[in-house]
A and B are shown apart, each in its own frame.
Chain A
Amino acid sequence: MPEAFAIDISQLASLAPSQWPDELISRKHLIYSSPAALAFNSPGAEGFGVKRAALTLPGSVMLLFSPGCCGRNTSALGGPDSRYGKRTFYLLLDETDIVTGRYQTKIVDACEEIAHSVSPTPQVIVLLSTCVDALLATDMERLVRLSEARTHIPCLSATMYALTREGHIPPMVGVRKSLYSLLRKAPKDPTRVNILGYFTPLASSCELYSLLHNAGYRHLQELSRMQDMDEYQNLARANFNLVLNPESRLAAQFFEQKLTIPSIELSPSFELAKIQKQYAILSQLLPEPLDDRPFFEEAQAQCAEHAKVLSHLTFAIGETSNAEPFGLALALLRMGARVAEIFAEPSEEKLALIKAIAAISPKTRLASNLSPSMLFYKPQHGEIDIAIGSDACFYHPASAHIPFCDDAKPFGYQGLLSLLRAIDQACGR
């Protein structure tokens, strides 16, 4: 029986990225489709794909125009009790539509029909295109203009081009920018800050809210908390943006260039020292200092309390969770835990983390969910105590599970504390 491919992280760290094994580089092999790889192949099936992300806009409806196959999984979003129910519409294309391009006329007609039939009238119509339009180079700007002229409703386009996943603007980057494209320049309000990065809010207990509020920023604005399009326009009045996810950098550029709103980027981390350092840097950039001491001290105490427990635990860490896998692995190792396995695709951007992990735990194994050899993956009996991430949970059915995939995003000291609480629960503490 063949075995799943895995490599010791020390071995990987000793190689230049150009020498990394093909099994770890998705463009060099077929993409294995297992439940652990679902988030890669179909981000919408778990968490957020472009479709669900596009519906983050308040009062929006979405028209997906595509062959039927592209909208198939969306029916899971549109149940009558779902918040997305009655907000998703499909214009099914047949081969003649594609060959003749006649569907472009139908899109405008469909928008008109939706505008007339939906009550209350939609505040925004999102036109969602697929790989077909990526290849046909459909002029989406024109379709948006025509649809707006016909319906008198603001329209925007978003693209679900899986083909461009590794391109200059991957779909999840593009949609983050598209969602802000209806903002118009407005006078600045120094008490407003935008939080960019996610399609759901940060966990309500996150200290970032109170830290910024105490520093005079009374309005912390997140798209997912907007109730209507009037409130949405307040995003254009922000003093600055906090970017919490690198996939929002393009959106931040849009804010900078079109709305003259600058951005500060923070990297989510589960390491106490890094969290403290990031707040210190942020504090230096703001007119009022941030006092994170009480939060730091609480988190420090919790880390100390958990040190002994963690030193007896072995983890497997996946990439389908609310944590970046290499960063999470390093954080756990530095807290004294053992990390036996990481399931993720390495990249040059992660090289520093990979080397840091290798220095502490050279025998940590790295495997890619997408490698065809994962068809033969067998867990080593009793090795893993806790699997973090729904992919790692899939590989280790007998271990304790922490999917760590909640819609409410963990961040900062709150993120670290929520991780420790989840570990407690997994251990039955």
Chain B
Amino acid sequence: MRGLLQHLAPFAPDSSGVVSALYELGGLIVIHDAGGCTGNYCGFDEPRWKEKPCALFSAGLRDMDAILGRDDRLVEKAQAAAALIKPHFLAIVGTPVPCVIATDFQGLTRLAEKKLGIPTLSFATTGTALYDTGLSQAYTEAFARFGKEPCEISKTRIGILGASPLDLGQTHARHLHANLQRAQNKDLEIISFGLDSGFEDLARVASCARHLVIAPSGLACAKLLEKRFGTPYSLDYPLSSGLLRLAKEAADYQRILIVHQQVLASTLRRQILEDAGKNTPEISIASFFQMTEELWQEGDRHLESEQDFSLLVEEGDYTCLLGDALLLRALSPKNRDRLHFLEIPHFAVSGTPMPLGLC
């Protein structure tokens, strides 16, 4: 039955994506909920939460607030918190409650900007969509709003777009940067926007010579930045030595399925084909999340449900599967046993951090 999860648990939602993108930017982030969505985000979707404090709040909505639409109270509370915290901006993040009561986010934004006197972003996320949609919205909105006009461009400065712990399973960007430095064999100045970088870095985005998009969630803002500042971008994921080792191991198999975010999966596919040499295996990519045509190849699949995934494995005659270990729960014992499985955790799927060996 479509929509029924019997084996997997729900993936990180759009609201988590928005907060993840904005987490380190020095804003006052208010999740427009009764508390549960904030608890889910902090307690499960945000691995940085215990090591990097953030001005993240729940609106603390109660039934009468929702029934009477008391947006003014939310703004008053945000005003009091902003007076204390002095944030760069206010972000209001939607959840199922404002979705059901049809909160006017545009009106709320105008009201908050007027009262607080600081830039206000709002996101009409509903909790029904997935994290990558939220990440994409938040990156795009933040760069559009805070990216300043061209300053001096540094030839060695590279901006990484789409670097969220929800995809990386890491709370810092140092491994990512080291992998990129090694792959490029150059002394680069690398900024992973939103991860180990703050508001000022984001404002200076126009100084980057190029952008590297490491997940589909970064693509929309890469296009925006290309259009606005003329900064070129490419889609690629800096593979770690651990992932390179997995690619080499997978190259021994003939029919391979990779289930992950599309940019990581596509880079792995390229690497496996390179390692396989004349052995040219058939490699398909499947993802529950956004997939761009730029990386799409014949045989790739977008997955809508856990049944889609189990059926794909059942019918695909694959011999090797790369992906999050949680996915194995959705497979029959017969299919699990016949597959050679190589684990690549996906935090947005299972909440499992990337082990150090794969970072």
Give A residues with C-beta under 8 Å from B: 2, 22, 26-35, 38, 40-46, 66-76, 78, 80, 88-95, 97-98, 106, 109-110, 113-114, 117, 130-132, 134-136, 160-167, 370, 372-373, 375
Contact = CB atoms under 8 A, between A and B. Distances in A.
Nearest to A130: B96
Given A113-B6, A131-B34, A164-B62, 11 more contacts: A2-B85, A33-B42, A33-B56, A41-B39, A72-B9, A89-B4, A95-B99, A95-B128, A135-B101, A167-B62, A372-B55
Interface stretch (B75-83, B140-148, B194-202): B75-83
A89 B39 contact: no
Contact of A163 (B6, B63, B128, B351): B63
B183 interface: no
A97 B59 CA distance: 25
Contacts, number: 216
B102 to A, nearest CB: 10
A165 B58 contact: no
A48 B81 CA distance: 30
Given A33-B39, A70-B40, A94-B128, A75 B62 contact: no
B273 interface: no
A336 B43 CA distance: 37
Nearest to A106: B3
A117 B6 contact: yes
A68 B97 contact: no
B96 A66 contact: yes
A69 B13 contact: yes
A73 B4 contact: no
Contacts of B119: none
- Give the interface size bracket for B toward A: 35 or more
Interface stretch (B45-53, B185-193, B245-253, B264-272): B45-53
B350 interface: yes
B91 to A, nearest CB: 13
B24 interface: no
Contacts of B97: 131-132, 135, 163
A110 B6 CA distance: 10
B207 interface: no
A30 B81 contact: yes
Contacts of B25: none
A142 to B, nearest CB: 20
Interface of B: 1, 3-6, 8-16, 30-31, 33-45, 49-50, 53, 55-63, 66-67, 77-78, 80-81, 84-85, 95-97, 99-101, 126-128, 130, 326, 329, 350-351
A416 to B, nearest CB: 31
Contact of A72 (B12, B77, B84): B12
29 contacts: A27-B60, A29-B77, A30-B30, A30-B60, A30-B77, A31-B38, A33-B38, A40-B39, A42-B35, A68-B13, A68-B130, A69-B16, A69-B37, A69-B40, A70-B40, A70-B127, A72-B40, A75-B44, A75-B326, A75-B350, A98-B100, A106-B4, A117-B6, A131-B34, A132-B100, A163-B34, A163-B61, A163-B62, A165-B35
A93 B40 CA distance: 17
Given A135-B100, A162-B36, A167-B63, A72 B44 contact: yes
A69 B43 contact: no
Contacts of A73: 39-40, 43-44
Nearest to A72: B40
Given A75-B9, A90-B5, A91-B4, A131 B36 contact: yes
A80 B329 contact: yes
Nearest to A88: B9
